Structure 1
Amino acid sequence: MAGAPLTPGSTIGILGGGQLGRMLAVAAIQLGYRVIGYGPAGDNVAASSCDEFIEKGWGEKDALADFASRCDVVTWEFENVPLTAVEAIPEIMLAPHPRALAIAQDRLSEKRFVEDLGARCAPYSRVESDDDFTRAVESVGAPGILKTARDGYDGKGQWRIPTLHEAQGIRFPGRPCIYEGMVGFETEFSVILVRGKDGEVRFWDSSANTHDGGMLVHSVLPAGDLVESQVDEARKIAAQTAEKLKYVGVLTLEFFATKQGPIFNEMAPRVHNSGHWTIEGAATSQFENHIRAIAGLPLGGTATRFASVDMRNIVGNDALSAHRILGEAGEPHLHLYGKREAHEGRKMGHVTRVSHDVGRDLP
């Protein structure tokens, strides 16, 4: 990972074809780089923003090796890229380091990793059988959430357990899981940082986040007094995580703001939905700074440019009438991702509203 910054015209490879890859590609092209994307055949919305997109499977090692041979650095846009696919690419070309993926892809490893750094987590127990599940619910208590240890995101692979009685009706799904006790929290917030190749770390302001069914739907700044009182402690954990991993790029840690302080929820070794507001709302977006970091360029400023910022996801069929947003108040900035099919629970875009007035009522 050492060496001179990538010169204009160099090629950045992106594993994954979703909207995060699309926005990373736009940032990379603006900085003068070529972009090659890679991912299985499907609705790869990143392809329209890449110079080239290779539709091949994660298990096709020859195709992955050929892809890597044409790139100067390779990154990823989501944390569920199979490790076997990443291992087909020379480690020296990858940013961040794949150890971040290995930890983030297993909820138990993730929690143990941050606990070793001093973070607090909700009570939890590993579950690998029906008997494990019964014991976990009895020891951790209810309400709680049963989550698959791997491959879950946006509320997928999760089952809420309101009471001990209702736990009896849930069957173990047949793959490793983790059972977590519910945390009494005031709000959720994320810490998003970028770490350069030289070890410099910069943070964006933390947004207060609202989820529905496990999916982020709303991020707002300022985040409120409770979050702001807990950001420093959460940032220390995030910075220690980045340092321990020798991380390069954008890293996100999500927390619950509780009366007892910040409780770690999960980590995303990538750009993050709760940071979409940075495109219009920050001096340098999370996407541009991720590209700067992996290319070895100086990091850009992360200061918030407005007094109030409000980002909302556009989900499912709401995308079909999203253009009406442009006629609303609050300086709306609309981003539609170009996905072909709108269905329930699918992120189709987002809208960010900014204001120079603190506390302005943004629609």
Structure 2
Amino acid sequence: MSQSVIRPGSTIGVLGGGQLGRMMALAGSNLGYRFIALDPTPESPCGQVAGQIVAGYSDQTAARELAERSDVITYEFENVDAEVAALLEELSYVPQGSRLLYTTQHRLREKRAVEKAGATVAPYAEIGSEADLREAVSRLGIPCVLKTAMGGYDGKGQWVIRSESEIGPAYAELSKAGVELVLEQFISFVKEISVIAARSPRGEIKTFPVAENIHVDNILHVSIVPARVNEKVQQEAERLAANIAESMEAVGLLAVEMFLTEDGEIYVNELAPRPHNSGHYTMEACATSQFEQHVRAVCNLPLGPTKLRTPVVMVNVLGEHTEDVEGIVVNSTETGFNVIPKVHLYGKKGSAPKRKMGHINLLCDDVEDGLNWIQQTNIWRNQN
């Protein structure tokens, strides 16, 4: 079954109905696939462009219905109920499997898998008590970062410890989650970069160009491609991502987030076994988008070319930016800059500050033009 080709016309089931599922369905429909999502929110972003089963992710009856209606099942976020993922493996074809989820849902398991693949992670320690934390802080040094081993995204579930006085409060706050904790040495980096790797059941692997990422308030603000790093760093980052995907026998996409230090060392920070925010630039800027590539990978089709066709800057649209960005769509696409803005809005109901509502891919001859456009439009005035 692992070598099966899922042919166009088949139905792809998606665990999750968010924007990643939406863009996956839009890309996959061009190849002739049908989609159905499982998500608890009626008319979810994916449900607006595909079929939808409205139910919770832990609902086993709904999971059985998804299996019955799908020829292959994928997921658009990693915090999927592991028992449901395992049930779906029994009932249907889930080429990504539950093992990859099991690994990437847990920071300690993930770090060990990355190390096994031959990549470097920040020195870390497993924390089971406040005494463990105090000992680890003394060993790893201040500043350091305490994180929950499970859950957490966009900066949630973590605490940067900058003084000894914060050790007790940090442990008290994060231990409320009732899961294991991990302490990481703080890496002094000059850039955050990422690579999206794709692997199919037949073992074919392709990587997308390196993205340079800038975060604001722990949320991705912009991705810049080509990344402003030398060719040696780009080649090494792509090599590491491909090696990790191969070592973990990943199927579909694997986003590998990394830190680059002043002396050129690369540390792997996190993995995501799905399409990723830092890969949105591929939608117009690459020969194949990350979403089409994911569909190709899980259906065991030949992977598409990943060549960069134009420099690009991707900027996230959060709730506080939505009204101004809608104005760009309604009024004019003429910018006065050497930039072509391609707007993607996700159809989410209810805009809120810091909530991801869309993104814009700024196609340009030089990434500095895209960055200047972001500054001059003044939409993101509080994010630079």
**TM-score of Structure 1 vs Structure 2, range by shorter chain:** over 0.9
What is the deviation of 1:118?
Answer: 1.8
Amino acid at match of 2:152: G
Partners of 2:247 and 2:186 in 1: CA distance = 28
Note the 1:96-115 alignment, pairs <5 A: 96-115=96-115
Residue in 1 that maps onto 2:75 = 76
Partners of 1:220 and 1:15 in 2: CA distance = 29
What is the deviation of 1:5?
Answer: 2.5
Residue in 2 that maps onto 1:232 = 235
Answer yes or no: is the 8 Å Cα contact 2:192–2:260 preserved in 1.
yes
What is the deviation of 1:80?
Answer: 0.7
Partners of 1:65 and 1:278 in 2: CA distance = 34
Answer yes or no: is the 8 Å Cα contact 2:2–2:95 preserved in 1.
no
Name the SS of the counterpart of 1:12 in structure 2: strand
Answer yes or no: is the 8 Å Cα contact 1:191–1:234 preserved in 2.
yes
Moved more, 317-326 or 262-271: 317-326
Note the 1:43-122 alignment, pairs <5 A: 44-50=44-50, 52-91=51-90, 93-122=93-122
Residue number among 203, 206, 210 corresponding to 1:206 in the alignment: 210
Residue in 2 that maps onto 1:248 = 251
Name the SS of the counterpart of 1:49 in structure 2: coil
Relative to structure 1, the CA distance from residue 103 to residue 268 in structure 2 (aligned partners, 3 Å threshold; closer, same or farther) is: same
Answer yes or no: is the 8 Å Cα contact 2:3–2:202 preserved in 1.
no
Name the SS of the counterpart of 1:225 in structure 2: coil
Residue number among 335, 341, 352 corresponding to 1:343 in the alignment: 352
| Structure 2 gap segments, 5+ residues each | 374-384
Name the SS of the counterpart of 2:63 in structure 1: helix
Residue in 2 that maps onto 1:284 = 288
Residue in 1 that maps onto 2:379 = none
Residue in 2 that maps onto 1:153 = 153
What is the TM-score with the length of structure 2 in the denominator? 0.89
Cα deviation, 1:38-58, whole Å, max 9, x if unaligned, reads 0223672111011x1001122
Amino acid at match of 1:267: L
Residue in 2 that maps onto 1:183 = 187
Cα deviation, 1:297-338, whole Å, max 9, x if unaligned, reads 2211100001x2100101122112212344433100011111
Answer yes or no: is the 8 Å Cα contact 1:114–1:237 preserved in 2.
no
1:265 aligns with 2:269: yes
Name the SS of the counterpart of 1:170 in structure 2: helix
Name the SS of the counterpart of 2:287 in structure 1: coil
Residue in 1 that maps onto 2:382 = none
1:313 aligns with 2:321: no
Answer yes or no: is the 8 Å Cα contact 1:126–1:177 preserved in 2.
yes
Answer yes or no: is the 8 Å Cα contact 1:196–1:293 preserved in 2.
yes
Query: Over the residues paired in the alignment, what is the CA RMSD in angstroms?
Result: 1.8
What is the deviation of 1:263?
Answer: 0.6
Partners of 1:361 and 1:344 in 2: CA distance = 23
| Structure 1 gap segments, 5+ residues each | none
What is the deviation of 1:131?
Answer: 2.0
Residue in 1 that maps onto 2:13 = 13
Name the SS of the counterpart of 1:67 in structure 2: helix
What is the deviation of 1:253?
Answer: 0.6
Partners of 2:272 and 2:289 in 1: CA distance = 17
Cα deviation, 1:176-234, whole Å, max 9, x if unaligned, reads 111112111110100111112221111110010011222111100121234x4223333
Q: Runs in 1 of length 4+ with deviation above 4 angstroms?
A: none
Moved more, 162-171 or 174-183: 162-171
Name the SS of the counterpart of 1:256 in structure 2: strand
Partners of 1:156 and 1:43 in 2: CA distance = 26
Answer yes or no: is the 8 Å Cα contact 1:133–1:179 preserved in 2.
yes
